[in-house]
Amino acid sequence: MRTDTTFKRAFNDMIDIIRTLDLGEELPSENALRAQLGVSRTTVRKVLAGMSARGIIISEAHRRIIGEQPQQIERYPKEETLAISEQVETSFMEWMLRGDACPGTEINEAELARKFGVATTIVREFLNRFQKYGLIEKRQNAGWVFKGFTASFALELFEIREMFEMRSARLFATLPDGSPVWKQIQSMRAAHLELLADIDARFQDFSELDSRFHRLITAVAPNRFIESFQDVIAMVFHYHYQWNKRDERARNEVAIGEHLALIEALESRNIALIDRACRLHLTSARETLLHSIA
């Protein structure tokens, strides 16, 4: 009763691989494809079988070659490539952020399962994992309570975020010249500039860049608890801002500017500058979030 989303995703990815090959060309080995697609060989074989059945691939003894017209292969739709657990995540976030839930709402596993059209087991598993974000709390033998996407949530979040990020940013001042981080910072700057140049069209790409940027800073001295906390931040920005698009473009443009300033400060290796740039950005991010909650 497991869904075949892994297969469908691999199938779609395989189409892209095939596109790079010529008609009549021999395919890479199952093992090579396994590595490229990031799935098991079992799944690779299933994909290959599916493609053979469609005539996209022709299987001969001990080799497979590209068949006719691989141009118009039909892809599986995006929804069918998402595991049920991922769909539940989206459904839940929507339910939460659409405002169906106000602080203190009791969350009912059975009801959610019905609403989302999935088994209770999955909802339960999701809630257990979601617990770490600090937005819900379990009560013994009796469901969960939604604590609300409130101002105090944002404030508590940023209190921690500031501690963690200042700690990492300061470490930059002590980094040797030869550290590979400086290269990464350089390309991070380039990515920011690129996005900024095309901000009108691509302002929605910022959320992902933001997450990568902050993860890079934090990664100078790896700490699993800090990394895990980044997930919380990423979740907040990813989902919350999906439902709060007010001033999105302007907001992201400002943030890019702050990131660039921070990058410059980091490269200066001057603790005072770093501190100021970092705090400035965090304060502004906090205010933006608070503003969008109210």
User: Is residue 168 a contact residue for DNA (CB under 7 A)?
Assistant: no
Binder of a second copy out of 228, 247, 250, 283 (CB under 8 A): 228
Binder of a second copy out of 19, 75, 114, 132 (CB under 8 A): 132
Task: Give dist(CA 19, CA 28) in Å, integer.
Answer: 13
Binder of a second copy out of 199, 232, 261, 271 (CB under 8 A): 232
Task: Give dist(CA 70, CA 64) in Å, integer.
Answer: 14
- Residues 113-152, mask of contacts with DNA (x by CB under 7 A): -----xxxxx-xx--------------xxxxx--------
> Of the two residues 31 and 187, which places its CB atom closer to DNA in the complex?
31
Task: Give dist(CA 98, CA 105) in Å, integer.
Answer: 14
Q: How far is the CB of 25 from DNA (least distance, A)?
A: 14
Q: How far is the CB of 138 from DNA (least distance, A)?
A: 7
3-state SS of the chain is CCCCHHHHHHHHHHHHHHHCCCCCCECCCHHHHHHHHCCCHHHHHHHHHHHHHCCCEEEECCEEEECCCHHHCCCCCHHHHCCHHHHHHHHHHHHHHHHHCCCCCEECHHHHHHHHCCCHHHHHHHHHHHHHHCCEEECCCCCEEECCCCHHHHHHHHHHHHHHHHHHHHHHCCCCCCCCHHHHHHHHHHHHHHHHHCHHHHHHHHHHHHHHHHHHHHCCCCCHHHHHHHHHHHHHHHHHCCCCCCCHHHHHHHHHHHHHHHHHHHHHCCHHHHHHHHHHHHHHHHHHHHHHHC
Q: 225 with 168: CB under 8 angstroms?
A: no
Partner from DNA, a second copy, none contacting 229, C-beta within 5 to 8 A by type: a second copy
Q: 263 with 188: CB under 8 angstroms?
A: yes
> Of the two residues 95 and 133, which places its CB atom closer to a second copy in the complex?
133
Site residues for DNA, 47-66, by CB under 7 A, read 62-64
Partner from DNA, a second copy, none contacting 159, C-beta within 5 to 8 A by type: a second copy
Binder of a second copy out of 57, 157, 181, 236 (CB under 8 A): 157
Partner from a second copy, DNA, none contacting 223, C-beta within 5 to 8 A by type: a second copy
**Which residue stretch of 109-117, 164-172, 272-280, 282-290 sits at the interface with DNA (rule: CB under 7 A)?**
109-117
Partner from a second copy, DNA, none contacting 163, C-beta within 5 to 8 A by type: a second copy
User: Is residue 84 a contact residue for DNA (CB under 7 A)?
Assistant: yes
Site for DNA, rule CB under 7 A: 1-8, 29-32, 39-43, 45-46, 62-64, 83-85, 107-111, 118-122, 124-125, 140-144
Site for a second copy, rule CB under 8 A: 6, 39-40, 121, 124-125, 128-129, 131-132, 134, 141, 147, 153, 156-157, 159-160, 163-164, 167, 222-226, 228-229, 232
